[in-house]
A and B are shown apart, each in its own frame.
Chain A
Amino acid sequence: EVQLVQSGAEVKKPGESLKISCEASGYKFTTYWIGWVRQMPGKGLEWMGIIYPGDSDTTYSPSFQGQVTISVDRSISTAYLHWSSLKASDTAMYYCARQRDSGYDWDYWGQGTLVTVSS
């Protein structure tokens, strides 16, 4: 059974760094892209970027380029989303999802990680 399990909720202060995770199981991790989506409180879904675990090829939305870093650790089938310096405006729910090659749709999703940034 395919599963994406994300790390737990985080409460951070502005300026702090953070890395959240998305652990995949039930399929060959290196052969499907993994993507990240932001959902700010009460708002819609924003496509942030994707990574191919096979070779770490990464593409970001222009809106998120330079704001976050997406990475993987193939040895533990885990993808990461990293901030070096959080802002209050990063407060949101973040989802990871698996992207299929055929139509680039996202067929399996993680349960979400709530990130709260507040002084």
Chain B
Amino acid sequence: DILMTQTPSSLSASVGDRVTITCRASQSIGDYVNWYQQRPDRAPTLLVFGSTRLQNGVPSRFRGSGSGQYFSLTIDTLQPEDFGTYYCQHSYSIPFTFGPGTKVDLK
């Protein structure tokens, strides 16, 4: 199985900050990375697919980048509704494993 690691595991930030979360795959996976947001007690929602493509309806302050083994999700100008946990997921080969998550909370 392909292992996905995320850093940091948690971070504290303020409204208006820029936040970057990184994800590393245990092998090269092209651009087969997706990012999900999970607010407390809610189902995950898709933010970014194919490493860089923004899902319909997702604000443009979310930005995905990377290819191969190294990927990142950047949130420009953090908003109150952005607090929660973010997961990367690869979709290169089954099983499409998720990273362990990065919890973003209010400083």
Nearest B residue (CB) for A61: B95
**Contact assessment for A103 and B50 in the assembled complex, using a CB-CB cutoff below 8 Å:** yes
**Contact assessment for B49 and A105 in the assembled complex, using a CB-CB cutoff below 8 Å:** yes
Asked whether A107 and B43 contact (CB < 8 A) given A44-B100, A62-B1, the answer is no
B70 in the interface (beta carbon within 8 A): no
Nearest A residue (CB) for B35: A105
Contact of B45 among A44, A104, A109 (CB under 8 A): A109
A77 in the interface (beta carbon within 8 A): no
B44 in the interface (beta carbon within 8 A): yes
A47 in the interface (beta carbon within 8 A): yes
Contact of A47 among B43, B46, B96 (CB under 8 A): B96
- Chain B residues with CB under 8 Å of A45's CB are 36, 38, 44, 87, 89, 98, 101
The secondary structure that dominates the B interface is loop
B97 in the interface (beta carbon within 8 A): yes
**Contact assessment for A105 and B101 in the assembled complex, using a CB-CB cutoff below 8 Å:** no
A118 in the interface (beta carbon within 8 A): no
Report Cα–Cα, A103/B31, bound state, in Å: 9
Report Cα–Cα, A49/B38, bound state, in Å: 20
Mark interface residues in A38-54 (1 if CB within 8 Å of B CB, else 0): 00000011110110000
A111 in the interface (beta carbon within 8 A): yes
Q: How far is the CB of B43 from the nearest CB of chain A, in Å?
A: 4
**Contact assessment for B91 and A95 in the assembled complex, using a CB-CB cutoff below 8 Å:** no
CB under 8 Å from chain A, chain B span 13-72: 32, 34, 36, 38, 43-46, 49-50, 53, 55
Given contacts A44-B85, A44-B98, A105-B49, 5 further A-B contacts (CB under 8 A): A45-B38, A46-B98, A47-B98, A61-B95, A103-B32
